[in-house]
Structure 1
């Protein structure tokens, strides 16, 4: 959306053949609501509606579905992506927004590892258990998948029997929600938490879950992915036409420098959010309200002042050249 509004050519390549209406709702708080002109008070939107809203802002011919990435080659002059259908795509910059398990992710990190440029912390993979047996875990032998949460030392619930608050007198369980949910809207969320130290290399840059994965509680992951997009779009907009690799990496570094500490703070606060959200943490989080440098700025409201945003001062190189020419005249 932002690249389109900035007049920067782009193409979107998606592995899925169609976008499924997964997910429940998304809460836009003061750090993202203004971006969508929902108002600083916050707004709740169903995720399928959000997907439709976002797609309407992008020309449909720019979005290519069913494109699985097989390999990537990045050099001083361009980055090339090869897909499973035999097609190729070339460009100045590759923005990776496909999580931590894609071919793009593996390609980038394997290259950095071979060149001894990958920090040890990033080489650590997410924890996956060894094969489990029914003898060790009897629940595996049961027909129904079991999800148990201990409320106290005397009660154990299977997920379908877990009580939920309906606001009425009738006692409902999670099974009632499952019975009322179309199967196409059911999905699994892997509980993974990690902030990577490596966000870019040469002409490839990572955003969202590709460089930081949060506890899903509170929607912190989606919020920070939007913040990534805003800051990165500001800096890409400031690059010259057909930038060289050094200029691109400088912009990527500025992007990570601006976002990294905020991501770490959000990562830590997302852990706190599991149990409670303190007023001090909430105020600091709400102070980060990044805006788009090349769009009309949203008036800041509320008693918490916005935090400094370096990328807000970045102007498109064409505008900078025009300004310099006008001053010289």
Structure 2
């Protein structure tokens, strides 16, 4: 809190979704759609879905995760035209498989950590790159996760992870059912009190793509940069992407391909170097949590037992210093002790100006 001047707030992803959805017009959100392909023309982008519906828009933002269908279609098109870099042609090769969930309300008597006023992250470093953790959160709930290296022994080099069943979590879970939960009981007990819609599986790797945009299509978050989760930087960078991209789009004077490309180029120039610099922090955190070599074990012990708290605080301050803010909302003041990295100057738009620009620039499609 000293670094930023703001308290940390912890909630479940479901609570965050509900909060965000409450700010939006329900009629503008369409759920349950799977994009199969898209194509661009002089008027915009047409998106084709698996239920044979077609949607038209001025731009397409691929924010659909590490297995991004938008990225796959975009890269396939660019590859045919000879416009895709060699590194972006490499296959998806995940390092770890993660299963995470939120258990329903638990008994504070069984899990004393629930009585505490603060959140505690309790992690167990297992053998051979495995591990699990549990976190107490408000409303007597517990977030949990378990991970293990991906076993490629039964996979051919040609086999793709595009068709992996991401909702089929039991093969991973069964390896951890009898493991002791750091907050009490067994990990299997938390899994059994977690509904299917609050349990998910994801394959993760450390990957930074070079191509983030082309034409009227742009990528965001894990779709263009995937960070291993142990540094806690993945979600933060996704939010930063959205903030910077929103600022760039608000500066558009019209919806011509030239201006849209310039906006995407500005977004890339602001975000790519920052994301690239985050990979070193991610690699260090990964070694601390899952590293198994003698050097990595020694480093982990030294970090947890010998590293002065002032140095840990300095590491946090470095991450907290980067705070892009949307230009269409009142600017948040810096209440903390940490310095703030200067952002590219943007005009502060009033609510009336934002409404006018959206109507003037983005409202033109209705007349086409």
Q: Is this a same-fold pair by TM over 0.5?
A: yes
Cα offset, 1:97, TM superposition: 0.6
Cα offset, 1:311, TM superposition: 5.7
Residues 1:255 and 2:267 are matched in the alignment? yes
| Structure 1 Cα separation of the partners of residues 56 and 202 of structure 2 | 33
**More moved, 43-52 vs 209-218:** 209-218
| Structure 2 Cα separation of the partners of residues 112 and 262 of structure 1 | 25
- What's the TM-score once normalised by structure 1's chain length? 0.71
| Structure 1 Cα separation of the partners of residues 258 and 219 of structure 2 | 17
Task: Give ranges in structure 1 of 5+ residues lacking alignment.
Answer: 1-28, 134-143, 149-157, 323-329
Tell me if the contact between 2:2 and 2:336 (Cα under 8 Å) persists in the aligned partners: no
- In the alignment, what sits opposite 1:174? 187
Residues 1:225 and 2:238 are matched in the alignment? yes
Cα offset, 1:209, TM superposition: 1.0
Tell me if the contact between 1:208 and 1:228 (Cα under 8 Å) persists in the aligned partners: yes
Q: 2:46 aligns with which of 70, 77, 80?
A: 80
Residues 1:159 and 2:176 are matched in the alignment? yes
- What's the TM-score once normalised by structure 2's chain length? 0.64
Tell me if the contact between 2:63 and 2:220 (Cα under 8 Å) persists in the aligned partners: yes
Change (3 A) 1:163 1:248: same
Aligned length: 262
What SS does structure 2 have at the residue aligned with 1:40? Answer: coil
| Structure 2 Cα separation of the partners of residues 187 and 70 of structure 1 | 22
- In the alignment, what sits opposite 2:282? 270
Tell me if the contact between 1:234 and 1:314 (Cα under 8 Å) persists in the aligned partners: no
- In the alignment, what sits opposite 2:331? 297
Change (3 A) 1:30 1:48: farther
Where does 1:138-149 land on structure 2 (aligned, <5 Å)? 145=171
| Structure 1 Cα separation of the partners of residues 75 and 155 of structure 2 | 29
Cα offset, 1:220, TM superposition: 1.8
| Structure 1 Cα separation of the partners of residues 83 and 276 of structure 2 | 21
| Structure 1 Cα separation of the partners of residues 173 and 15 of structure 2 | 29
Tell me if the contact between 1:30 and 1:289 (Cα under 8 Å) persists in the aligned partners: no
| Structure 2 Cα separation of the partners of residues 319 and 50 of structure 1 | 28
Task: Give ranges in structure 2 of 5+ residues lacking alignment.
Answer: 95-151, 157-169, 289-302, 304-310, 357-368
| Structure 1 Cα separation of the partners of residues 210 and 347 of structure 2 | 25
